[in-house]
Amino acid sequence: SQKIEQNSEALNIQEGKTATLTCNYTNYSPAYLQWYRQDPGRGPVFLLLIRENEKEKRKERLKVTFDTTLKQSLFHITASQPADSATYLCATILTGGGNKLTFGTGTQLKVEL
């Protein structure tokens, strides 16, 4: 069956370091992959979208990569700050999924001083 998997364990890193979050997908090849941020008590907020023919996408301190061979997307936050602490979700449309955007389980990031 098709799956989107993210590391369910929380990621704790020190301020100033680069945080790297992983999104793996199995048994299909998405044309697009999206990343969202969710803060406690709030709805997810869109961050970046990457297409299958793009290896990398950047926005300020954020970088997303898309490796269709490994079936994996990596989400990087450089020079991380405590304000980056949140849950990060990847999302895509599975094969035959119509317009149903399916989300991964999310990875909680905590940036410590």
Partner 1 sequence: DTAVSQTPKYLVTQMGNDKSIKCEQNLGHDTMYWYKQDSKKFLKIMFSYNNKELIINETVPNRFSPKSPDKAHLNLHINSLELGDSAVYFCASSQGLGYSGANVLTFGAGSRLTVL
CB nearer to partner 1: give 16 or 97: 97
Which strand (E) or helix (H) includes residue 71?
none
- Are the beta carbons of 87 and 107 closer than 8 angstroms? yes
Give the residues lining the site for partner 1 (CB under 8 A).
Answer: 30-34, 36, 41-46, 49, 51, 87, 89, 92-93, 98-103, 105-106
CB of 77 to partner 1, least distance (A): 19
Per-position b or e across 79-96, b if 16+ CB within 10 A of its CB? ebeeebbbbbbbbbbbee
The rounded distance, in Å, linking the Cα atoms of 19 and 81 is 10
CB of 17 to partner 1, least distance (A): 24
CB of 60 to partner 1, least distance (A): 17
CB nearer to partner 1: give 27 or 105: 105
Which strand (E) or helix (H) includes residue 101?
strand 101-103
CB nearer to partner 1: give 36 or 75: 36
Which strand (E) or helix (H) includes residue 92?
strand 86-93
CB nearer to partner 1: give 30 or 65: 30
